[in-house]
Structure 1
């Protein structure tokens, strides 16, 4: 049987390693930033409607813009008050205690000045942290890995079918479909086959040779599979019951990886389906069900981690927000600014749990008469996450071409 590296990566535990090119970062020096912290990024793909997640219920124009989608200000299924102006979607009630205790914060009206409202382009921008020419750019999380030294053998993992662009680049990053999929096929379990693989990836002597680069990648993949299989084979008993959903399972496995103390520094999870052009629903319906799943899964994850949450930060990102006014099919279209949810031990206790220089929803306050304006640049948020939580101050290399302003939401 002819065994190629591609077949092995596809067969052995559905794990892949990406070591690509980093055109933005050349001839850099690594900096030790071993803070022993973990960042969990949940990408809400499709463009989440932030106006119905963190609800500006005391902006009177909100109710004028959303006849069927608005979350009530009072009564049954009302928004859960956060600060007297903003409220939480009622199906996100499981997150309310974290806001109350100060371990969660929401940033509202976040975006940037050149949003195209295109899924493809805006996901590129949020994943690369580069505005404009993103064709040759790697992910900002990979640039963090490349400019720092970690504290374990496996620093970055995406739990999903493919490695997302946010983790692609020169630094090693791994993609797994899940810990329960890490079984080696029967034909690979034979010692002769494994010995052949190890021999195939033995290092050539010339480090400048392309074969050396390939052998190093192969050896790293073999070593990582072995580590992850040990984690997967160790019975895991979570402290809570997670939602029986793909997102719930991914966050449970994320908690398992963090508790295994193998040096996980970055975990990326996709949660798609937020492109709600029609029949979005307000307090009930498709959108509300997704909000409930997101909230309950994050809440379970936090409770499962217990004291380990002190060293973990969870953030949500999305393509863009949705239009302020609902459309004719009781949905919302591609918009502009959005909200970001942040939770973890590093969150600074705020006087109010919402950080926003609120631009307003009056007709003259909307961007192009249709969208929530942005007052916080998303790169400033990401910079604080990287610099303060992960401890990497190489911000001009990680998020180039931007002059940073402090948001001040992390300790």
Structure 2
């Protein structure tokens, strides 16, 4: 058994933030943990990445032989045929082609570590970014009154003691997915310990102050002994050279928001501070105009997404059996291109799931020929896989959570086999 102080000092935990009444309750509880060795026993880790703005799944993973798609997108359609002057789609299975800017995903797909689900989306047909993201992150697509996020509920179902780093979002504010009663933190940057706890009552709704400001307040009595020890732990982590973190030799992260977020998640995992559920996000997917083909805004976005995830996977070689990465986006884009070289708000898109426990090398889901009679509202790729079928299967098989009534209230669907044994 170890003492509270020894736990904090040896674990190297940084306890962030301050509420109106002092250190948030869950941090004080963590400081009081008295655990036998094994608190940091390796556990499964889920990393969720939200692509905000609605990714065009039909461009990321195109059914390249579909004559209706070819007719609907004369300026955006790409071919899988290799010619001297084109950058072709990567033929995955004779039907679907991966965008060439996602070439770093090809080997993961061929190794059967990467799975794609096409035709995935919400049963709620809203085309509002705000509402669709809210429904997907709450996990209740027909209820706006849900106070918690599905990832927060997942944390609550893990069923074991945790460190303050059990659920971490590498974002500037708390994502809707982490709202709820279970402790979770949002860290903007490991170097400056910026944190927001809005939406998490076990944290704080008050914007956090700088490390130095908070630590200086210990002398005023604002922080009690537990808070002082928490900040001692915070100083311990602050002494770690987070700024000059060296990934594995073959891992090259893009110098982008997503790349930097995943690099910091990798760092937290390697520090063994108890991380089990991580969240990051990628923006810029709302491609209403000048979407481009093998160059342009969409190509840049998928390059960043695929290279960031691939670098993270390479960096995490020693953790592959414990790690699953899953992307999500609120909806897809219209089948037909618009008059400004882009696509508008649609319905279904696709997502990517990476891990050793994934039933990879397959484009899962049901995508019918894109004839007008098969389109939702005569214009969109139909949602044939409810996002909850995939999210719940990943949680069930990877995190060993088996309470879908709590995880996704009102949902009675089943998995689609995207995880091995699913």
The structure-2 alpha-carbon separation of the partners of 1:224 and 1:48, relative to structure 1 and needing over 3 Å to count, comes to: farther
2:60 to 47, 53, 58: 53
Is the CA contact 1:39–1:267 (under 8 Å) kept in the aligned structure 2?
Answer: yes
2:74 to 49, 53, 67: 67
Alignment partner, residue 400 of structure 2: 391
Matched, 1:263 2:263: no
User: Which segment drifts farther, 145-154 or 69-78?
Assistant: 145-154
* Structure 1 segments unaligned to the other structure (5+ residues): 1-7, 20-33, 203-217
1:179 to 184, 190, 195: 190
For 1:220 and 1:171, the matched residues in 2 are separated by 22
User: Which segment drifts farther, 58-67 or 116-125?
Assistant: 58-67
Query: Given the two structures, how large is their TM-score scaled by the length of structure 1?
Result: 0.83
Alignment partner, residue 363 of structure 1: 372
2:353 to 325, 331, 342: 342
For 2:345 and 2:306, the matched residues in 1 are separated by 23
- The superposition leaves residues 7-57 of structure 1 with CA deviations (integer Å, 9 ceiling, x where unpaired) of x8389xxxx9798xxxxxxxxxxxxxx981111111000101111001111
Alignment partner, residue 165 of structure 1: 176
Is the CA contact 1:18–1:168 (under 8 Å) kept in the aligned structure 2?
Answer: no
Is the CA contact 2:138–2:150 (under 8 Å) kept in the aligned structure 1?
Answer: yes
- Give 1:73 deviation, angstroms: 2.7
- Give 1:409 deviation, angstroms: 1.3
- Give 1:181 deviation, angstroms: 1.7
Alignment partner, residue 9 of structure 1: 17
SS at structure 1 position matched to 2:259 = helix
- The superposition leaves residues 366-396 of structure 1 with CA deviations (integer Å, 9 ceiling, x where unpaired) of 1111000111111010111111111111111
Alignment partner, residue 383 of structure 2: 374
2:311 to 300, 310, 325: 300
SS at structure 2 position matched to 1:301 = helix
SS at structure 2 position matched to 1:149 = coil
Please identify runs of 4+ aligned residues in structure 1 that moved more than 6 A: 16-19, 218-221
The structure-2 alpha-carbon separation of the partners of 1:35 and 1:404, relative to structure 1 and needing over 3 Å to count, comes to: farther
2:138 to 112, 116, 128: 128
Is the CA contact 1:17–1:173 (under 8 Å) kept in the aligned structure 2?
Answer: no
For 1:161 and 1:313, the matched residues in 2 are separated by 23
Alignment partner, residue 88 of structure 1: 98
2:111 to 92, 101, 115: 101
- Give 1:222 deviation, angstroms: 5.2
2:260 to 249, 254, 261: 249
How many corresponding residue pairs? 367
1:118 to 109, 113, 128: 128
For 1:42 and 1:270, the matched residues in 2 are separated by 5
For 1:151 and 1:59, the matched residues in 2 are separated by 51
SS at structure 2 position matched to 1:397 = helix
SS at structure 1 position matched to 2:120 = strand
- Give 1:307 deviation, angstroms: 2.7
SS at structure 1 position matched to 2:17 = helix
The structure-2 alpha-carbon separation of the partners of 1:362 and 1:194, relative to structure 1 and needing over 3 Å to count, comes to: farther
- Give 1:182 deviation, angstroms: 2.3
Query: Given the two structures, how large is their TM-score scaled by the length of structure 2?
Result: 0.81
SS at structure 2 position matched to 1:329 = coil
Is the CA contact 2:122–2:136 (under 8 Å) kept in the aligned structure 1?
Answer: no
- The superposition leaves residues 204-248 of structure 1 with CA deviations (integer Å, 9 ceiling, x where unpaired) of xxxxxxxxxxxxxx7997588467536555953101221111111
Is the CA contact 1:36–1:151 (under 8 Å) kept in the aligned structure 2?
Answer: no
The structure-2 alpha-carbon separation of the partners of 1:142 and 1:106, relative to structure 1 and needing over 3 Å to count, comes to: same
Matched, 1:36 2:46: no
For 1:293 and 1:47, the matched residues in 2 are separated by 16
SS at structure 1 position matched to 2:411 = coil
- Give 1:160 deviation, angstroms: 1.1
The structure-2 alpha-carbon separation of the partners of 1:226 and 1:173, relative to structure 1 and needing over 3 Å to count, comes to: farther
Is the CA contact 2:62–2:96 (under 8 Å) kept in the aligned structure 1?
Answer: yes
Structure 1 vs Structure 2 CA RMSD: 2.6
The structure-2 alpha-carbon separation of the partners of 1:44 and 1:234, relative to structure 1 and needing over 3 Å to count, comes to: closer
SS at structure 2 position matched to 1:161 = coil
The structure-2 alpha-carbon separation of the partners of 1:237 and 1:375, relative to structure 1 and needing over 3 Å to count, comes to: same
The structure-2 alpha-carbon separation of the partners of 1:263 and 1:280, relative to structure 1 and needing over 3 Å to count, comes to: same
Alignment partner, residue 288 of structure 1: 299
Alignment partner, residue 24 of structure 1: none
For 2:69 and 2:303, the matched residues in 1 are separated by 22
